[in-house]
């Protein structure tokens, strides 16, 4: 099996689509930020703050994702409205996520 950053990113993205794991990531991030134990100690200039900045970015992105999904669910937005120029009516468009594989 060939390891790549893209495969790791895809696995992580698929894992976080499950709301249960998203809550675990948020909880784990909060515990790590409050904990006195650090992967990279903060006494090392610049390098010590890298893990904290990364985890804060992760926390903000996950919480904002949850807020946006909750807001869309509350508003009832299932799809987006797209105007059809030929008929003047609106239709619901949906996005399809496709994993492409190159064939040689």
Residues in the chain: 104
Kindly report, residue by residue over 16-57, the tens digit of the pLDDT: 777 778 888 889 889 988 888 877 777 788 887 888 888 899
Measure CA 54 to chain center: 13
Structure confidence at residue 2 (pLDDT):
67
- Find where tokens 């009832």 sit: 76
Instruction: Give φ, ψ of 42 to 5 degrees.
Output: -75, -10
Entry pTM: 0.56
């Amino acid at each position: 099996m060939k390891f790549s950053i893209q495969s790791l990113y895809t696995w992580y993205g698929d894992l976080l689509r499950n709301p249960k794991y998203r809550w675990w990531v948020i909880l784990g991030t909060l515990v790590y930020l409050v904990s006195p134990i650090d992967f990279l100690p903060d006494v090392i200039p610049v390098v010590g703050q890298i893990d904290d900045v990364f985890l804060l970015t992760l926390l903000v992105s996950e919480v904002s994702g949850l807020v946006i999904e909750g807001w869309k669910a509350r508003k009832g937005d299932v799809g987006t409205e797209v105007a059809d120029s030929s008929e003047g009516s609106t239709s619901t468009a949906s996005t399809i996520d496709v994993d492409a594989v190159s064939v040689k």
